[in-house]
Amino acid sequence: MDLLDFEAKDLYFDRPDAPEVEGLIKKAAENYSSEAELPLLRAYFLAPESLNVLVALNRFYYYQHRLEDALNATGKALDVVRLMTGFPEDWRDLRQSHIDAVPPDSLTRVRLYLFTLKAIGFLNMRLHRLDLSQAVFEKLVELDRMDRIGAKGLLELLQQCRAEVVGANSFALGD
Protein backbone atom coordinates (compact mmCIF):
# COMPACT_ATOMS: atom_id res chain seq x y z
CA MET A 1 0.00 0.00 0.00
CA ASP A 2 1.38 3.39 -0.99
CA LEU A 3 0.89 5.78 1.91
CA LEU A 4 0.83 8.73 -0.48
CA ASP A 5 -1.84 7.27 -2.74
CA PHE A 6 -4.94 8.50 -0.95
CA GLU A 7 -7.46 11.28 -0.85
CA ALA A 8 -7.08 13.41 2.26
CA LYS A 9 -10.27 12.83 4.22
CA ASP A 10 -11.10 13.04 7.88
CA LEU A 11 -8.08 15.15 8.83
CA TYR A 12 -7.85 15.55 12.59
CA PHE A 13 -7.51 19.33 12.43
CA ASP A 14 -10.72 19.59 10.40
CA ARG A 15 -12.67 18.12 13.29
CA PRO A 16 -14.20 20.91 15.32
CA ASP A 17 -13.89 20.92 19.06
CA ALA A 18 -16.32 22.55 21.45
CA PRO A 19 -16.11 26.35 21.17
CA GLU A 20 -14.62 26.61 24.67
CA VAL A 21 -11.85 24.15 23.75
CA GLU A 22 -11.12 25.95 20.49
CA GLY A 23 -10.99 29.24 22.39
CA LEU A 24 -8.47 27.83 24.86
CA ILE A 25 -6.26 26.52 22.05
CA LYS A 26 -6.43 29.90 20.34
CA LYS A 27 -5.60 31.69 23.60
CA ALA A 28 -2.57 29.45 24.08
CA ALA A 29 -1.43 30.05 20.49
CA GLU A 30 -1.59 33.81 20.98
CA ASN A 31 0.77 33.65 23.94
CA TYR A 32 3.15 30.75 23.38
CA SER A 33 5.22 31.44 26.46
CA SER A 34 4.89 29.42 29.62
CA GLU A 35 1.50 31.09 30.11
CA ALA A 36 0.12 28.96 27.28
CA GLU A 37 0.28 25.80 29.36
CA LEU A 38 -2.71 26.51 31.58
CA PRO A 39 -5.19 27.07 28.72
CA LEU A 40 -3.88 23.95 26.98
CA LEU A 41 -4.29 21.87 30.13
CA ARG A 42 -7.80 23.23 30.62
CA ALA A 43 -8.57 22.28 27.01
CA TYR A 44 -7.18 18.81 27.69
CA PHE A 45 -9.40 18.34 30.73
CA LEU A 46 -12.42 19.39 28.65
CA ALA A 47 -11.50 17.26 25.62
CA PRO A 48 -8.90 14.61 26.51
CA GLU A 49 -9.49 12.72 23.25
CA SER A 50 -9.13 15.78 21.00
CA LEU A 51 -6.22 15.42 18.62
CA ASN A 52 -6.19 19.20 18.20
CA VAL A 53 -5.53 19.56 21.92
CA LEU A 54 -2.99 16.73 22.05
CA VAL A 55 -1.03 18.06 19.08
CA ALA A 56 -1.06 21.56 20.61
CA LEU A 57 0.24 20.14 23.90
CA ASN A 58 2.94 18.19 22.07
CA ARG A 59 4.10 21.28 20.20
CA PHE A 60 4.03 23.46 23.29
CA TYR A 61 6.09 21.02 25.35
CA TYR A 62 8.48 20.29 22.51
CA TYR A 63 9.24 23.96 21.93
CA GLN A 64 9.64 24.44 25.68
CA HIS A 65 12.22 21.60 25.58
CA ARG A 66 10.03 19.58 27.92
CA LEU A 67 10.52 16.40 25.96
CA GLU A 68 9.11 14.00 28.54
CA ASP A 69 5.86 15.99 28.64
CA ALA A 70 5.80 16.13 24.83
CA LEU A 71 6.24 12.37 24.77
CA ASN A 72 3.30 11.90 27.16
CA ALA A 73 1.03 14.01 24.94
CA THR A 74 2.21 12.15 21.84
CA GLY A 75 1.64 8.78 23.48
CA LYS A 76 -1.91 9.81 24.35
CA ALA A 77 -2.44 10.92 20.73
CA LEU A 78 -1.19 7.53 19.52
CA ASP A 79 -3.76 5.84 21.77
CA VAL A 80 -6.55 8.00 20.36
CA VAL A 81 -5.58 7.26 16.76
CA ARG A 82 -5.05 3.58 17.55
CA LEU A 83 -8.67 3.31 18.64
CA MET A 84 -9.77 4.98 15.40
CA THR A 85 -7.84 2.47 13.30
CA GLY A 86 -8.40 -0.68 15.33
CA PHE A 87 -4.66 -1.26 15.52
CA PRO A 88 -3.17 -3.43 18.31
CA GLU A 89 -2.65 -1.85 21.71
CA ASP A 90 1.12 -2.30 21.46
CA TRP A 91 2.68 -0.79 18.33
CA ARG A 92 5.21 -3.63 18.30
CA ASP A 93 2.34 -5.97 17.36
CA LEU A 94 1.33 -3.88 14.34
CA ARG A 95 1.62 -5.82 11.07
CA GLN A 96 1.14 -4.95 7.44
CA SER A 97 -2.09 -6.95 7.53
CA HIS A 98 -3.53 -4.44 10.04
CA ILE A 99 -2.75 -1.57 7.69
CA ASP A 100 -4.12 -3.44 4.68
CA ALA A 101 -7.39 -4.08 6.56
CA VAL A 102 -8.07 -0.36 7.01
CA PRO A 103 -10.60 0.95 4.46
CA PRO A 104 -9.05 3.22 1.81
CA ASP A 105 -11.08 6.21 3.01
CA SER A 106 -9.37 5.88 6.43
CA LEU A 107 -5.81 5.98 5.12
CA THR A 108 -5.42 9.45 6.63
CA ARG A 109 -5.76 7.85 10.06
CA VAL A 110 -3.11 5.26 9.21
CA ARG A 111 -0.72 8.02 8.16
CA LEU A 112 -1.49 9.96 11.35
CA TYR A 113 -0.80 6.86 13.42
CA LEU A 114 2.52 6.22 11.68
CA PHE A 115 3.62 9.86 11.87
CA THR A 116 2.69 9.92 15.56
CA LEU A 117 4.71 6.76 16.12
CA LYS A 118 7.61 8.43 14.30
CA ALA A 119 7.31 11.39 16.69
CA ILE A 120 7.51 8.96 19.61
CA GLY A 121 10.67 7.46 18.14
CA PHE A 122 12.16 10.90 17.61
CA LEU A 123 11.35 12.10 21.13
CA ASN A 124 12.84 8.94 22.59
CA MET A 125 15.96 9.51 20.49
CA ARG A 126 16.21 13.05 21.88
CA LEU A 127 15.81 11.59 25.39
CA HIS A 128 18.69 9.16 24.64
CA ARG A 129 16.45 6.10 24.79
CA LEU A 130 18.14 4.77 21.72
CA ASP A 131 17.04 1.14 21.90
CA LEU A 132 13.38 2.11 22.04
CA SER A 133 13.84 4.74 19.37
CA GLN A 134 15.58 2.26 17.10
CA ALA A 135 12.79 -0.27 17.60
CA VAL A 136 10.19 2.34 16.61
CA PHE A 137 12.10 3.37 13.49
CA GLU A 138 12.70 -0.26 12.50
CA LYS A 139 8.97 -0.98 12.84
CA LEU A 140 8.15 2.02 10.66
CA VAL A 141 10.68 1.00 8.00
CA GLU A 142 9.21 -2.52 8.03
CA LEU A 143 5.67 -1.19 7.52
CA ASP A 144 6.52 1.63 5.13
CA ARG A 145 8.78 0.06 2.52
CA MET A 146 8.54 3.14 0.26
CA ASP A 147 9.63 5.37 3.18
CA ARG A 148 6.68 7.74 2.79
CA ILE A 149 6.79 8.48 6.52
CA GLY A 150 10.53 9.18 6.43
CA ALA A 151 11.70 6.91 9.24
CA LYS A 152 14.55 5.39 7.24
CA GLY A 153 16.66 8.54 7.46
CA LEU A 154 16.10 8.78 11.21
CA LEU A 155 17.06 5.13 11.65
CA GLU A 156 20.24 5.71 9.65
CA LEU A 157 21.03 8.83 11.71
CA LEU A 158 20.51 6.93 14.95
CA GLN A 159 22.75 4.09 13.77
CA GLN A 160 25.41 6.57 12.61
CA CYS A 161 25.37 8.31 16.01
CA ARG A 162 25.70 4.98 17.77
CA ALA A 163 28.67 4.04 15.58
CA GLU A 164 30.35 7.38 16.33
CA VAL A 165 29.86 6.89 20.08
CA VAL A 166 31.34 3.38 19.89
CA GLY A 167 34.24 4.70 17.82
CA ALA A 168 34.87 7.55 20.24
CA ASN A 169 34.77 5.17 23.20
CA SER A 170 37.21 2.80 21.51
CA PHE A 171 39.56 5.69 20.75
CA ALA A 172 39.34 6.97 24.34
CA LEU A 173 40.19 3.52 25.65
CA GLY A 174 43.23 3.29 23.39
CA ASP A 175 41.97 0.50 21.13
Phi and psi at 42, nearest 5°, equal: -60, -45
Q: What is the pLDDT of residue 7?
A: 59
With beta carbons less than 8 A apart as the criterion, state whether 99 and 109 touch: no
Q: How far is CA 24 from the centre of its chain?
A: 22
Domain layout of the chain by residue ranges = 12-172
CA distance 14 to 129: 34
User: 172 CB contacts (<8 Å, ≥6 apart)?
Assistant: none
- Top pLDDT among 87 and 164 is at 87
pLDDT band at 105; cut points 50, 70, 90: confident
pLDDT tens track for 118-149 = 999 999 999 999 999 999 999 999 999 999 99
15 has a pLDDT exceeding 90: no
With beta carbons less than 8 A apart as the criterion, state whether 23 and 51 touch: no
Q: What is the pLDDT of residue 13?
A: 53
Q: What sections of 31-150 are H helices per DSSP?
A: 37-46, 51-63, 67-85, 96-101, 107-126, 130-143
Q: Which fold has domain 12-172?
A: 1.25.40
Residue range 20-25: mean pLDDT, rounded: 94
pLDDT tens track for 25-66 = 999 988 877 789 999 999 999 999 999 999 999 999 999 999
Q: What is the pLDDT of residue 43?
A: 97
Residue range 17-30: mean pLDDT, rounded: 92
pTM of the prediction?
A: 0.85
170 has a pLDDT exceeding 90: no
Asked which of 21-30, 59-68, 101-110 is least confident by mean pLDDT, the reply is 101-110
